Amino acid sequence: MADTISAPPTTGRKAPLNNPIARLLTPEGTLTEEGERVAAVSDATLRDLYRLMVVMRRLDQEGLNLQRQGELGLWGPTLGHEAAQIGAALALRETDWIFPYYRDFGMAIVRGIDPGQILTVFRGLRHGAWNPQQYRFGPFVIPVGTQIPHAVGYALGCKLDHEQTAVLVGFGEGATSTGDWHEAMNFAGVFKAPVVFLCQNNQWAISVPISEQVAGRIVDRAAGYGFPGVRVDGADALAIYAVTQMAADHARRGDGPYLIEAFSYRLGPHTTSDDPTRYRTEEELAPWRAHDPIVRAAERLRQRGAWDDTFAQACQAEADERATQMRQTLIAATPDHPASVFDLVYANPPQSLLRERDAFVAELAPETPQEGH
């Protein structure tokens, strides 16, 4: 009888993750020539990316103006995030969901939420200024990282319901140091939830630089949870759009989660309560200011022969008009009735909640005067 030759023991290491998306990017995180061919992003889409980034920047500046004028309690500037937010949100289908963090103002604009209503949250008038079901867009979440388990849970629900839905969740690199992020990543990897994790790495968790927060690269952590990831130039709207579209397709096909690290820089303060001059210099900002996502989108349109001054002027005019409308909507807004906190808790409210709401409203109502008083 011949000797039996057994296979050598395994090392316990998995084979490299299949990641065709990564092969379409340069080491700098932009699309290769092959990547641009595969993505096949039209001139019309690129013009939409440019237009919406111009609108987002103008509205962001108006939000800052309103806070400085005492009309908002707080504002979190988005300067430097335009490409990541507009590119990612525009790449999704209308049936996909977005779970934002507090700085994802641009994504809300793409989803058609009234920016003036959004600002009522920062004026302290409302807890939730839109119906998440209507826009397939969750509420802004202030506690760092807590929206990430929400997104994974919803994505798993979509999978169990056999829906062809991708769920995108936005967060900053600071959130990757939270337990919520790690637990959500692990859960998504184990159950192959159709979720796209979008890390907007602006290199500052308030005043803590990325070098003092993360050992290694954030994107490399995806492999530890059993799914692929890629780092993209966070100022390149075209690359963000293409990669997000492919990652969302990956999720909808049932291939599980995907991590996108959009590497950029926070050009403004963390919020209007922050003074970034205390921990960084203007010299550090200079190269990133030259890396402007709007300027880069304009240059790509010129290269394609799809640019003209009339288009640029129309984009700026739209942005200015929408900023005026946003201001007017905010100033005219009034507080919601206190009972509105019950409205968006359940799709089908249980009777116990309805009774609680009715009792609450009754307590708020003025007492009926007694006869003779």
Residue 162 annotated among the catalytic residues of the structure: no
Question: pLDDT (tens digit, 9 = 90+) per residue, 85-114?
Answer: 999 999 999 999 999 999 999 999 999 999
- Domains contained in the chain, CATH given: 22-335 (3.40.50.970), 337-373 (no CATH)
Question: pLDDT (tens digit, 9 = 90+) per residue, 140-192?
Answer: 988 999 999 999 999 999 999 999 999 999 999 999 999 999 999 999 999 99
- The answer to whether the beta carbons of residues 100 and 140 sit under 8 Å apart is yes
Question: Taking Cα atoms as reference points, which of 52, 39, 51, 103 lies closest to residue 310?
Answer: 51
> Which positions ≥6 away from 201 have C-beta within 8 Å?
172, 173, 210, 218, 234, 261, 262, 263, 264
Residue 279 annotated among the catalytic residues of the structure: yes
* Catalytic entry in 270, 300, 322, 327: 270
First to last CA, the chain: 111
Q: How far is CA 149 from the centre of its chain?
A: 15
- The answer to whether the beta carbons of residues 262 and 200 sit under 8 Å apart is yes
pLDDT higher than threshold 50 for residue 368: no
* Catalytic entry in 103, 123, 250, 266: 266
Q: Can you give the C-alpha Rg of the chain in angstroms?
A: 23
Let me know if 114 is exposed, middle or buried by CB neighbors in 10 A (0-12, 13-18, 19+): middle
C-beta neighbour count of 104 within 10 angstroms: 32
pLDDT range class, residue 343, cuts 50, 70, 90: confident
* Catalytic entry in 68, 127, 279, 304: 279
Residue 126 annotated among the catalytic residues of the structure: no
Predicted pLDDT of residue 339: 87
Q: Can you give the pTM of this predicted structure?
A: 0.89
